[in-house]
Structure 1
C-alpha cells in the first residue's frame, strides 16, 4: 500500500516538473524573444513592368516567367515564426530594358510582416529574355520517304497548303525558312489521298529547327502522293539508207536500251511497246561516234520518266567491212552573189574543215585530198563589213570507186573588209613617208569580191 502511494507521488512530481519547465520556457521566450533565421523554398518570382516595356519598346517577355527562389528571413523568433509563404513577394522589374537581349536582373523581396527582414535570396538574380514577337509565312515542302512495293514508284506529292504562319521571338523567327511534311510510302502499291502529315520547321541550313517559343498556326496538313506502276520500255531508232549504206549493213547500239516510265493512266502504258527516238540518216552519220538523242521529248502525253532515269540516249552506228578516213580539207571555192562588183575584200578565217570518207581501206588510201573542196556562197553586200559564219558545201572530184563522203553541215568563218578604207590607209602611209627608197605593198591574202566566183 505504501509502495503504491510512493509511486503515485513520484509520477505527480514528474508531471509537475514538466509543467514548470514549460512555463519557465514560455516566460523566458516572452521576455527575451531572441532573433533567428527561417528559410522559405520555391518562392515564385513575379515579373513586373511587362506592360510598360511593351508600350515603350514593343518588347515582350520571352523567358524567365516560371522562376522560383529560396528566401531566408531574419527577425525575432516570434515574428519570424508567424510568417507564411504567401506573405513573401519576390519580383523582378523589366520595365527599364530597351533592346531585345538576355539579362540577369536582381530579385527584390518584400514581406508583409513587421519586424522581419530579408537575410538572403538564392539565386539573387534571375535570367530573363525579351524580344519582339512577330509572325511570318513560310513555304511548305513535302518530302516522300521510303520505297513503295516492288514495281511501283512514288510520284510528285501535292498539297493544297502552300504556306503556314509561324509566330515567336523575332530572333528565333528569322532562322525559320520552311515547313516540311514527310510522307512515308514504304511498301505501298496504291496512291495516298488527303493523307494527314505533321509539319516540321527547318532552318536555312536544312536542319530541323526546335524552339520552345516558336509556334505554328498549322500543325498538320493534308498531302496526296500518287503511286505509279513502273513499266520498262525499250528504246528504238529509225535508220534511213544513205551514203551507200543500208540499215542491213550497220549495227546500231542504243545506250540505255530501256528506260523506266510511269503514267497516271495505266491503260496508256499498256499501249506503249517502244519509244522511238527519231530518224538517223546513214548518209550523214559518223560511224563509231555516239549521237545524243532526247528520250524525254519522245514520251507520249501523260507518260514521264521515273526519277533518276536518263533524259537522253547515246546511239552509235558501226559498220562491218567498211572503214572510215578523216581528212582536213583546206581548199575553198567561193561565190559572191552580189549583183555588182563590191568594194569588199573577203578573208577566209577557217583554215580547214574535217571531213569523213567511207569505203574499203584500199580505196580510201587512193583518195587525193586535193580533189576535195568546200564551196561557199554568200552575198557580201547583204552581210556587210565584219566577221560572219556561212554555210559550206563539200564537193568531190574523182573519188575512187566505192568511196563516199559523209554528208554533214559545214560552217566556215569569213571576214569582210572595205577595200576603199584599206587603199586610203595605204596611200596616206606612202604620202607621209620621208624615206626615198621604193615601198612595196604586199598583195592581200584574201580575195577581192566581184560578181562571179573564184577559189582559194
Structure 2
C-alpha cells in the first residue's frame, strides 16, 4: 500500500505555512484595525482662477474656506494622512457668469497626500459642511488719484508746504461694485511739532464717494505704498528796502521813505537759504527826480528757492524830501554836442528855468553862471528840422546843491 498523505513530510510543511499566514493576517488586522476619524481644517483650493479672470470674473466671497472630513480607514492610513496635506479642490474655469455658486464635497474633489494609494481604501462618511458655497462677481480695474492729509502739527517758526506724492495715482482692482465706489486713495501724515521735511514710503487708505474707508480684503492695489514728501521750511520776517541815489542836492539823510501796505514780508525757505537774508531790496530811486514827495510802485521779487508767505507781490514806496531849500534859476548857457555829420545845429530854446535844491545858505549863493545846459545829439535822428531832445543840466562849483527834475529843449538841424 502507498503512504497516506498525512504521513508526508511536505503536508506538514504546507499546513505550517497556511497556519503562519493565517496568524499573520489575524495579527495584522488586530495591529492595524479600521478606525473612524475626522480630519479638520482641510483647506479649500480653487483652480482655474486664471481662466476666471480672463472672463472678467473673480471670487468675491468665500475664497478662504476650510472643511472637516469624516473618514474610515486603517490606523496606518491616519498616520500617513497626518504627514501630508489634504485639500478640497474646486475648478472654477467653467464659470461664465457672476452669481452664487454651490459645489457638493465628494470624493472626486478631495486630494490626499502622495503616500496614500488606492489600496488604502479610504471611505468618506460625511463632510462639514456638505458643500462649498462661494460668490463670483465681475472684476474691474481703475486708477484713482492719491491725496495727502496732514493731521499733525508744525513747530513754532516753521511752515509746512504742499504734499508731493509719487506716483500721483494708484491702480485698484476687485469686485466691480466695490471698485466703482472708490474715489481716491488717501495717505495721512500725523507727525507732531515738525521742524524738518518729511519723506517716507507710506501705505494709503481707499476712500469711497461718502468719504468712508473701503476695507474689502479682495481688493488688489498697485503699488502698495507711495513716496510722500511734505516740506517743512523756516519762517522769517524780512524788511523791505530801496537804494536812494543821492542827487539834486538831496541825500539819504534828507529822504523820508514809507512803504505801503507793509515794510516787511514773511518769507519761507530752508535754514541755509534764509540765514544770510537780511533784507529784500526793491531797487534804486533817484532823489534828483523827486521834488517834494513822490510815490513809486515796486515789485517784490524773491529767489526761486524762497517763498513769499505774505503773498504781497508789490508795494507803494513814498519818498519825501525834507529839510532842503529850493530855488528856480534862469539858464541861457546852452551847448549842443555830438551833432550828426553834415548838419548844423541851432538851439531854438534860448533859456530854461531850472530848479536847484540844497541847504538854504548854499542855495542862496549859487550864481546863474554856474549852471549850464548840454544837449547831446549822438542818439538823435539825422534829419533836418526841429525836435525836442533831453538835456543834462550841470551845476559847477558846489557839492551840496544839485539840480532837480528832468529837462528838454528844442533843437533844429539844417
TM-score, normalised to structure 2, is 0.44
TM-score, normalised to structure 1, is 0.40
